[in-house]
């Protein structure tokens, strides 16, 4: 019972922090409600983080999805989170997981951020940032940075309420696979792109 109480307290705190983040920067937060466990489960399954060595999460917010990714990752994997809101990054720094690298900055600078932390090409990039609220050129630049830095055979998974990432991603990476997660408020579409594996 004590464990359930702690989990409930953590969810309540996460909801409050998430709402505060939305109030500070409504254009940078995709929803005022943290993700559901069903959404987190689909993120894990779609992104295949269980077999990844380097994972990048864009827009982790208060870290609900981050905790789920860490729980599914191998013990020797690394997770780089990139968040514009420094207060969200501070929350992630308190997780105490040596595999987690919270970074405050823009995903446009993905190559430089990876180099700064001594990380190689990621096997998967997971994004919850709201492409529908950012300028078109920024969205295209972020997706281009993801494409250019993914490892051979790597994948980009974006979960979104609106379809902007699908339209932008089609221009940069081609047609995505699309799935819908209805057990979340709001329901989320999952857009997945996979780069070609090396033939060497």
Question: Does some domain include residue 166?
Answer: yes
199 is a domain residue: no
Examine the pLDDT at 24 and tell me if it is beyond 70: no
CA angle 151, 140, 136 (to 5 degrees): 160
What is the pTM for the complete model shown? Answer: 0.82
CATH number at residue 142: 3.40.50.150
pLDDT score at 158: 98
Q: What is the pLDDT of residue 4?
A: 52
**Measured distance CA(72)–CA(51) in Å, rounded:** 9
| Strand order across the 124-127 sheet | 100-104, 78-83, 54-58, 124-127, 155-160, 188-194, 177-181
Q: What is the mean pLDDT of the chain?
A: 86
CA separation for the pair 53, 191 (Å, rounded): 21
Range of the domain at 104: 35-194
Q: Which two tokens stand for residue 90?
A: 């501070």
| pLDDT value of position 23 | 42
SS3 188: strand
Mean pLDDT of 144-158: 98
Q: Looking at the domain assignment, is residue 7 inside a domain?
A: no
What is the number of structural domains in the chain?
A: 1
Averaged over 9-26, what is the pLDDT? Answer: 45
Q: What digits encode the pLDDT tens for the residues 95-132?
A: 999 999 999 999 999 999 999 999 999 999 999 999 99
Indicate whether 11 belongs to any domain: no
Residue 46 is assigned to a structural domain of this protein: yes
Specify the pLDDT at position 199.
60
Residue 18 has pLDDT above 90, yes or no: no
Residue 189 pLDDT class (50, 70, 90 cuts):
very high
């Amino acid at each position: 019972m004590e464990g359930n109480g702690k989990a409930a307290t953590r969810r309540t705190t996460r909801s409050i922090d998430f709402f505060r983040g939305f109030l500070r920067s409504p254009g940078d937060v995709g929803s005022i409600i943290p993700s559901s466990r069903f959404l987190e489960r689909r993120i894990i399954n779609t992104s295949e983080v269980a077999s990844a060595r380097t994972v990048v999460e864009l827009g982790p917010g208060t870290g609900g999805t981050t905790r789920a990714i860490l729980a599914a990752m191998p013990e020797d994997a690394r997770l780089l989170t990139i968040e514009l809101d420094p207060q969200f990054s501070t929350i992630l720094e308190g997780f105490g997981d040596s595999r987690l690298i919270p970074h405050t900055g823009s995903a446009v600078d993905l190559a430089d951020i990876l180099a700064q932390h001594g990380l190689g090409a990621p096997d998967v990039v997971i994004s919850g940032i709201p492409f529908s609220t950012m300028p078109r050129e920024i969205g295209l630049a972020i997706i281009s940075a993801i494409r250019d830095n993914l490892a051979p055979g790597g994948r980009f998974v974006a979960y979104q309420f609106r379809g902007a990432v699908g339209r932008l991603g089609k221009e940069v990476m081609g047609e995505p696979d699309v799935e819908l997660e209805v057990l979340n408020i709001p329901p989320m579409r999952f857009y997945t792109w996979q780069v070609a594996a090396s033939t060497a």
